[in-house]
Amino acid sequence: MSSPVRSIAISVAAALLACATSGAQQPTTQAPPPGSPVATRHPYEMDGRLEAVGGGLLGMGRSVTVARDEAPAAVLHVADGTAVAVEGRASRLGDLRPGDDVRVLFDFDGGTPVAIKIEAKPRR
């Protein structure tokens, strides 16, 4: 990739990341669960509707896309240690469905937003 193209690609990626996490709130009282995939003291919290679930090939590229009111959709990486719950019960990534209402606790690993905990309630 040529230098000007690479610079444009990096600028676009940075702008998308900034948009992807706008509107997230940083809680002050909620700590990440033990075994969290990201070492953090101040995780962010986001509410929205699950738009997509990416299972990835052999666990690679697993992600969730969360649509939010008055903010762009956010794509978050799902790590092996990400806790998933549906209606309060421990679940797996494959149990989540587009359209579920979700609350996601997350933080950044470098520049990548990583889900720490995903709580879902199916829409009825």
pLDDT tens figures, 23-47: 565 554 456 566 677 666 778 999 9
Answer yes or no: pTM beyond 0.75: no
Q: For 76-89, write each residue's pLDDT tens digit.
A: 999 989 999 999 99
Distances (CA, A) of 12 to 3, 71, 80, 82: 14, 17, 28, 28
Calculate the average pLDDT of the chain.
Answer: 79
For domain 3-121, the CATH superfamily is: Copper binding periplasmic protein CusF (2.40.50.320)
